[in-house]
Amino acid sequence: MNYEQLVNHLKNHQYKWGVTGVAGFIGSHILEELLNLGQKVIGIDNFSTGTQKNLDYVLDSIDDHHKENFTFIRGDLQDQDLCGQICEYAEFILHQGALGSVPRSLNSPRNSHNSNVNGQFNLLVASQDSKIKSFVYASSSSVYGDNQNCPKKEDCTGKPLSPYAATKKINEIYGQVFSDCYKLNIRGLRYFNVFGPRQNPNGPYAAVIPIWIRSLIRNEEVYIFGDGSTSRDFCYVKNAVQANLLAAFNTQNNIGHEIYNIACGRETSLNDLFSIIKTELSQFIPDIKNRGPLYKDFREGDIKNTLASINKGKKDFNYDSPFSINEGLKETINWFYNHQETYT
């Protein structure tokens, strides 16, 4: 079924969903969509990167009747009992909880491993015990590593270039093993530079789009690592939300483990990205048109270019990346400008 058909189905059928990292950027957007569709959700977050204000924002936008469908647990996926509690309740697991960022993993590899590998392992064991209908987890484009081929296709990865990339590769291996050994329906989603409202612009490991938006709003310098020709396949968060729900209901090959690129299938250089953001923000701050970036050395562990093939997701579960980077940036910039007191 396509996403419109799935939405109609969910509006008429209530399921129980477990969402990890529910107070995070992507997790809170998934929560918002599920609650708006009348679904029951149990969410867990340890607030290592997620925030209470993300949950508050979602719940403030939901009607009181649907708010009652949400149960929140503050805890860590390294707690096996909590993983069991979530999986006993839920029919579907959407696993977003992780410590992201290549630089963070280079500085603290043990923390990245414990959170990303041990957390998902515990959740897989609990899912097997509870016979979860479908387990969807967040992987990453970083698993392509030193593979220079573009566009990236799911069956051809490279050597991981950071501890973060290694944790995501291990997650995919465990996904395959648990599917083969325990007959679980598991789907891994390789996110390509997801962005959107509520993405944290603060701290040393923040993503480029919210950092630049905040910096331009504050009249601060914008830094580009390299000469600006570095490119990414930027993916609006609503695309990632749709992919999670579609993947959970993908029944063409019900039992098995499959990996999918979640992106737009379009490459945007950092120079072009800066130009788009500056143009969109100029409607609020006209003088911003005269701003330019400052260039720094390329960062260790970063990948020069990423571009995804999304054909497999289109074929298997009708993922069609409905929101382009321009549409997503327009919504994101409008949102950040109107919420700058609390989010920038």
Does the pLDDT of residue 118 top 70, yes or no? yes
- Give the model's pLDDT for residue 290: 85
For residues 324-337, give the mean pLDDT: 95
Average per-residue pLDDT in the chain?
Answer: 93
- Is 223 annotated as catalytic? no
252: confidence class by pLDDT, cuts 50, 70, 90: low
- For residues 186 and 175, the answer to whether their CB atoms sit within 8 Å is yes
The tokens describing 181, both together, are 């050994």
- The alpha helices in the chain, defined as continuous H runs, are 3-12, 25-36, 52-61, 64-67, 80-89, 102-107, 109-113, 119-130, 163-182, 208-217, 237-248, 270-281, 311-317, 325-338, 340-343
Query: Is residue 141 a contact partner of residue 162, using CB atoms and an 8 Å limit?
Result: no
What pLDDT does residue 253 have? 56
Higher pLDDT, 288 or 95: 95
Mean pLDDT of 72-80: 96
Looking at the 3D structure of the chain, how many domains does it have? 1
Amino acid identity of residue 342, one-letter, is T
Active-site hit among 15, 144, 164, 260: 164
Quick one: pLDDT at residue 276?
Answer: 95
Q: Which domain holds residue 141?
A: 3-343
122: domain CATH number is 3.40.50.720
Indicate the range of 160-169, 199-208, 317-326 predicted with least confidence.
Answer: 199-208
Give whole-number Cα distances, 175 to 192, 278, 310, in Å: 19, 41, 20
What integer pLDDT is reported at residue 344 of this predicted model?
55
**Confidence grade of residue 251 (pLDDT, cut at 50, 70, 90):** low
Q: Which tens digit of pLDDT belongs to each residue from 186-227?
A: 999 999 999 999 998 887 767 899 999 999 999 999 999 999
Structure confidence at residue 340 (pLDDT): 79
pLDDT above 90: residue 40: yes
The pLDDT assigned to 58 comes to 96
pTM of the full structure: 0.94
